[in-house]
Amino acid sequence: MEIERKFLIEKLPKDLGQYPVWCLEQAYLCREPVIRVRKEEYKEKKEFILTYKSDGLMEREEYNLPLTQESYLHLKAKADGKVITKKRYRIPEKSSLMIELDIFEGDLEGLIMAEVEFPDKETANAYRPPEWFGKEVTFDKTYHNSNLSKGKE
């Protein structure tokens, strides 16, 4: 079960350069349910992942399966919509939580979002975001990456 809250970011933290950054590329094969393929690059390491996500906003089922690079490229070619590219910074947060700060590239350049995953619903509901977080968009499906991949309609 994935439990997360999402926020728009207008102003980046000053110390961003001290945190590790991943380069992500992801494509959506289906939106209901969400089926995604993703390439994650960190330094010299590359991982390829197939993800299934059920319907939901703050809470939803999520399953990840490893892919080979060949399988990833084959499935990516079948994407429904645009391939999303972004830089992801992982920033430690209070209470052993982690902020995943996504800076989108390409067609979505200028969009910056932060996600925080939680161990349970109570912790998610009690969370108070840092002051540099902007508007919360957890309950707005417009900001699901699967919808962002549709491009401008």
Residues assigned a catalytic role? 28
**Full strand arrangement of the beta sheet holding 84-92:** 59-60, 2-8, 112-117, 98-104, 84-92, 21-31, 34-42, 45-53, 62-67
The span from the CA of 38 to the CA of 65, in Å, is 10
